[in-house]
Amino acid sequence: MTTTAELMARRQRLLGPNVSTFYNDPVHIVKGEGVWLWDADGNKYLDCYNNVPHVGHCNPRVVDAICRQASTLNTHTRYLHEGILTYVERLTATMHQSLSTAIMTCTGSEANDIALRMAEAVTGRRGIIATDATYHGNTALVSQLSRSNRPEGGFGLDQYFRHVEAPDSYRIIDDDGSLFAADVEAQIERLIASPYGFAALVVCPFFLNEGFPTQCDGWLQKTAEVVRKAGGLLICDEVQSGFGRIGSHFWAYEKQGVIPDIVVLGKPMANGHPVGATVTTSDTMAAFRNSFRYFNTFGGNPVSCAAALAVLDELQERELMAHAKKVGDYALQRLTRLQQQYEFIGDVRGSGLVFGAEMVLDRDTQTPAGEFTDRVINAMRSKGIIHSKLGRYKNTLKIRPPMPFSMENADLLFDTLDDVLQNTPLKSNG
């Protein structure tokens, strides 16, 4: 039996330094099914974290689609194949009619890398705006969207990027989004005054990495107006927020009452099979395709399209968006009850199957309890519940399970959380 220490040593030797794992005691997972994971010792975990296996770990319909297509044909888009056409038809049918064309990629990073170049191709400008607590991917260009992950190097690409303060419904009063719109406008003006001009705003329309602030429907409309007035593009990165996750809408941009120029997709799109996409209008696509001879060898291959199509089928036939709404509403009720019990739960938020609680040392000062949150997460892991944290201060429980997550699963999650919160001191003993 390989020990954790041995695996960690092999990782360090083979993958290099700074390849982080979750939890103080990393989990060695060997098997998954639905919302469950098993480690090498046979321990079972309720997965309250992973959004990539969107329709459940090892979903039989997706696995079957992959196996069938992988044993029939896997090739590239220089030949004709119905798979990519059927999928793009089905995908774009879920979006606003203007969003009618797509480039399929292998990752959300590749899709964002395309989106930024589309913005440059359409506007002839290079200035990009994002929030100061976001993450959109890992290419040299896209990694500059993150301030937290921002590389020191990166071929000087940082010059084109400006950041606005992330929305924070717990600390910043901005009920109708006008403060955020004003911040974006100020950065647009800075970019217009620079040699770069303003090309695009990139946001997750549910501000997921930012800690999914509570926002009224249509909150992003004022921002979209500001972006359009300046001739920029609105890029909605729906990698985390899309495919029905938020329960109320299939795409979070719909809740925001805006129509993006570009929608970026990734992670859950094919349940873990490496698939992403950039969806846009036919004009923006033509501008890009006429500027760049883009080809992606694996992008849109028949196996990837079969896997992605099976995810759409599964979502629709099992009505998983409505399910996410029902379980999510219940989860918020249970979180609210915990907030009434525990002074350190400063705020509870979420929609559908993405929800969480913000931990504070003191409700009046709203001082983030990041270290406490860490201990809670590690204690939950030791009790067989897997989730994580996120947000501006990394003090918000991040609960974002596979979509088949049930009421019963929610009960186990919150019963365990209640137990852990009772037994975890707010101040560390160490």
Q: Give the residue among 112, 236, 128 at the shortest CA–CA distance from 188.
A: 128
Cβ-based nearer residue to a second copy, 101 or 131: 101
Minimum CB distance to a second copy, residue 129 (Å): 15
Taking the complex as a whole, how short is the minimal distance between the CB of residue 247 and a second copy, in angstroms?
23
At a CB cut-off of 8 Å and minimum separation 6, what does 153 contact?
A: none
Which parts of 159-188 interact with a second copy (CB under 8 A)?
160
Q: How far is the CB of 75 from a second copy (least distance, A)?
A: 6
Q: How far is the CB of 53 from a second copy (least distance, A)?
A: 7
> Looking at beta carbons only, is 117 or 334 nearer to a second copy?
117
| Shortest separation between residue 332's beta carbon and a second copy, angstroms | 27
Minimum distance of a second copy from residue 372's CB (angstroms): 21
| Angle of helix 407-423 versus helix 320-341 axis, rounded to 10 | 20
Q: How far is the CB of 429 from a second copy (least distance, A)?
A: 27
CB of residue 280 to a second copy, shortest distance in Å: 9
Q: Are 324 and 241 in contact (CB under 8 A)?
A: no
**d(Cα 65, Cα 423) in Å, to the nearest integer?**
45
Distance in Å, CB of 353 to a second copy, minimum:
18
The first and second tokens of residue 70, run together, are: 């992988």
Tokens in use for 40?
A: 């090498």
Cβ closer to a second copy: 77 or 241?
77
Rounded-to-integer distance, Cα 271 and Cα 370, Å:
31
| Beta carbon nearer to a second copy, 11 or 190 | 11
Give the position of tokens 């975890």: 424
Residue closer to a second copy, measured from CB, 159 or 428: 159
By beta-carbon proximity to a second copy, the closer residue of 93 and 172 is: 93
Amino acid at 316: Q
Side-chain-side CA neighbours of 323 within 13 Å: the count stands at: 20
Nearer to a second copy, 63 or 186 (CB): 63
User: Closest separation between CB of residue 216 and a second copy, Å?
Assistant: 31
Residues numbered 260-319 forming contacts with a second copy, rule: CB under 8 A: 266-267, 271-274, 282, 285-286, 288-298, 301, 303-304
157 is a site residue for a second copy (CB under 8 A): yes
The answer to whether 166 and 132 are in contact (CB under 8 A) is yes
Q: Which is nearer to a second copy, 231 or 274 (CB)?
A: 274
Question: Any alpha helices (H) in 174-301, and if so which ranges?
Answer: 178-192, 221-229, 252-255, 282-291
Q: How many residues bind a second copy (CB under 8 A)?
A: 106
- Residue 186 is inside which H or E element, if any? helix 178-192
Looking at the Cβ atoms of 88 and 413, the one nearer to a second copy is 88
For residues 106-145, which are near a second copy according to CB under 8 A?
A: 106-110, 113, 116-117, 120-121, 124, 126, 138-141, 143
How far apart, in whole angstroms, are the C-alpha atoms of residue 329 and residue 332?
5
Is-contact 230 202, C-beta < 8 A? no
Q: Is 96 in the site for a second copy (CB under 8 A)?
A: no
What are the strands, taking DSSP E only, across 257-326?
262-265, 276-280
- Best CA proximity match to 365, nearest among 337, 344, 340, 394: 344
Beta strand extents in 274-344 (DSSP E only): 276-280
Burial grade of 185 (CB within 10 A; 0-12, 13-18, 19 or more): buried
Contact between 93 and a second copy by CB under 8 A: the answer reads no
Q: Which residue's CB is nearer to a second copy, number 256 or number 271?
A: 271
State which of positions 374-413 bind a second copy (CB under 8 A): none
For the CA atoms of 269, 274, 278, 279, the dihedral, rounded to the nearest 10 degrees, stands at -30
Does position 103 interact with a second copy (CB under 8 A)? The reply is: yes
Where on the phi/psi map is residue 369: left (φ > 0), alpha (ψ -120 to 50), or beta? beta
- Site residues for a second copy, 29-88, by CB under 8 A, read 29-32, 37, 50, 52-53, 57-58, 60, 62-63, 66-67, 70-82, 84-85, 88
Q: Which is nearer to a second copy, 353 or 360 (CB)?
A: 353
Beta bridge partners of 265: 277
Q: Least distance from C-beta 285 to a second copy, angstroms?
A: 4
Residue 2 is a binding residue for a second copy (CB under 8 A): yes
